[in-house]
Amino acid sequence: MKDRESVVVKSDGSYTYFANDIAYHNLKFENSPDLVVDVWGANHHGHVPRIKAAIASLGHETSKFHVILYQWVRFKRGSEIVKMSKRSGTFITAREVLDEIGPDALRFFILMYDPNSHIDFDLDLAKERSNKNPVYYVQYAHARIASILTKVPNVNLESRTPVILERSDRISKKRSYRSFHSLQDDNANYQLLTTNYELSLIKQITRLPELVEDIASNFAVHRLTAYSIDLADSFHKFYENCPVLSDDKELTEARIALISATKIALANTLRLLGVSAPQKM
């Protein structure tokens, strides 16, 4: 081959990185996956057609192969850019970032960005325990609901945590999700939920199944982090303006059902992002 980057075997008989990539992807396809998704840096965009050609030459379906290209990540500490240089040996490894901020913040902050946009990663913000930190803001909403539910007498928390996002089949085959089903609570009178804060929260909850179906088709995972922030924001506003526990038994039951559904939606969203949903913070 004229293109030296497409060489598989060197003149000395050793194999190139490209040969390793071919073998690796062949191994992936031998397991008969519905879809193979690779996440690469944008500087490897020229490698995509070569790998696709190799996959096709091995008899595999290239339609089942998808590459997501991420742009560069720029680390910041507040307003200061963390400068890195191979030449001077100053750089931050992925392990160092993981050890400093933890897996939840790392995943959430990376997934907040469209892969086509450059990522400004504020390490100080990722560690901050305040509402300015988006992952903290979302996780705190889940923990706050869990705390409220522990104060409700005679509530079986296990019965209030069903999976609302249930796949009717494997995502790559049907890409369809059953609609959101509210909690089966015969005692709750949902017609009492009439404030703008309650209605806004209900609308956010019911967005989730359709949103996930769309994301499964276009891989725009950053929309899921944006949704989780919107959902958490709607809950926090509801909580500040609508007391959950009151002397009005019917209204209390309706609001308990609402925050229980919110907790489920938050837990499912965080689970899909690979981020934990803490009961306490």
Q: Which domains does the chain have, with CATH numbers?
A: 4-70 (no CATH), 73-127 (no CATH), 134-273 (1.10.730.10)
Mean pLDDT of the chain: 86
Partnered with residue 80 across adjacent β-strands are 77
C-alpha count within 13 angstroms, C-beta hemisphere, residue 126 = 22
Residue 166: pLDDT band (50, 70, 90) is: very low
Q: Which of 140, 109, 111 minimizes the C-alpha distance to 224?
A: 111
Q: 56-65, 101-110, 159-168, 208-217: which range is least confident on average?
A: 159-168
Distance set, CA 231 to CA 45, 114, 270 (Å): 35, 19, 12
**Overall average pLDDT of the 197-208 stretch:** 95
**The pTM is what?**
0.81
Match 């956010």 to its residue by tokens: 204
Residue 5: pLDDT band (50, 70, 90) is: low
| DSSP letter for each residue of the chain | --SGGG-SB-TTSPBPHHHHHHHHHHHHHHT--S-EEEEEEGGGGGGHHHHHHHHHHTT--GGGEEEEEE--EEEEETTEE---BTTTTB---HHHHHHHH-HHHHHHHHHTS-TTS-EEEEHHHHH--STTSHHHHHHHHHHHHHHHHHTSTT--GGGG---SS-BSS-HHHH--BPPP-----TT--GGG--SHHHHHHHHHHHHHHHHHHHHHHH--THHHHHHHHHHHHHHHHHHHHS-SS-S-HHHHHHHHHHHHHHHHHHHHHHHHHT----S--
Which are the contacts of 161, defined by CB distance < 8 A and separation ≥ 6? 260, 263, 264, 267
Residue 143 tokens read as 């923990």
Q: pLDDT tens across 55-82, in order?
A: 999 999 999 999 999 998 889 888 888 8
Which are the contacts of 191, defined by CB distance < 8 A and separation ≥ 6? none
**Overall average pLDDT of the 238-263 stretch:** 94
